[in-house]
Amino acid sequence: MEYKKGVKSLDHVNLNIDHGIYGLLGENGAGKTTLMKILVTLLTPTSGTAEINGLTVEPKNFETIKKQIGYLPQEFGLYPNLTVRESLEYVGIMSGVQFMKSLQSKMFILWTERSATLPERW
């Protein structure tokens, strides 16, 4: 995969990762973002293949793969004028999920246990 014309960001990568939560660290331009974008179906490899749980990362498998991976990019666009709760509600609405009672109770527990450390705007 090329980062810019003639500059490869990923070349001959072979990677097996077990289930779990991981962070990806490396120098600027090392290919971290490109690799993650391929794994979460935002990019398709220009050569070779990428697989997630036996599914090749290609358009016909994108929806299935997206259901198996959670991805939080370094920079993501939440509206700065929204509170944490409003942001969660917005994402839920856009995803077709109603704001669930279980989520409300989890958020309440977080609020009661950590209220001293949370910003004023909840």
pLDDT by residue (tens digit) across 5-39?
777 778 888 888 887 777 788 888 888 888 888 88
Which pTM does this prediction carry? Answer: 0.56
- Tell which residue, 55, 3, 12, has the closest CA to residue 33: 3
Domain locations in the chain as residue ranges: 2-66, 77-122
Which range has the worst mean pLDDT, 1-5, 6-10, 73-77, 118-122? 118-122
